[in-house]
Amino acid sequence: MAEAERIIGTPDVEGAGPEKSSENEGAGETAAVKKDEAEGAETAAEGGASVAAQVKRKLPLLLIVALIAYALDLGSKLLVVAKLEPSGETINVIGELLQFRAIRNAGAAFGIGEAYTIVFTIIASSVIIVIARLARKLYSLPWAIALGLLLGGALGNLTDRIFRTPGFLEGAVVDFIAPAHFAVFNLADSAVVCGGILIVILSFKGLDPDGTVHKS
């Protein structure tokens, strides 16, 4: 009898083994899926952090470009006021095609509108405010360079308006770059013009400051 029970019970015992093994395999697959999901989530988080880092780099670039433009303009003006203006000397850089000579300009870039100094001061201040607002959604590298040039140039000439004679907000800008048959200007003017040209090109191509491209 015992022998018969042993023989009859054998299939049940053997059948239980594969069932248990199947359960173990299922649990292993579930664990593997969860592990893959966790790794995927971690990768996505790292990717998001990488994208965020790329986005954040645009504002520092704008500030770096602006700082370089401003420093070059300020340094050149200090040198001109200290060395070139007192002597009244004219330096021939490329013969008479390009000269350095110091003048004071109460108008806008290239000597335009000398009777509206305060107006141009307000415009420069407004440009700086607009750039500060755009910088919050600045994801485009070319736009960061363009706005940096514009900001540095605007700050350079605004510094003259505020601190130079004849008075606060009416100060005359120091100009010294004198090409033949053209108005005398400074490095701040050059930065503003270059930044403006780049903005026109980017707008023509449909590239927005946030990095998106649209078709006109």
Q: Which one of 36, 160, 175, 210 is the catalytic residue?
A: 175
Active-site annotation holds for 175: yes
Round to whole Å and give the CA distance between 57 and 179: 37
Q: List all residues 6 or more positions away from 199 whose beta carbon is below 8 Å from its beta carbon.
A: 143, 146, 147, 150
Active-site annotation holds for 73: no
Residues 65 and 149: beta-carbon distance below 8 Å: yes
Q: Which element (helix H / strand E) includes 19?
A: helix 2-56
Q: Which one of 12, 73, 189, 208 is the catalytic residue?
A: 189
Give every strand in the sheet of 173-179, ordered side by side: 91-94, 98-105, 173-179
At 93, list the tokens: 């850089």
Residues acting as catalytic residues: 175, 189
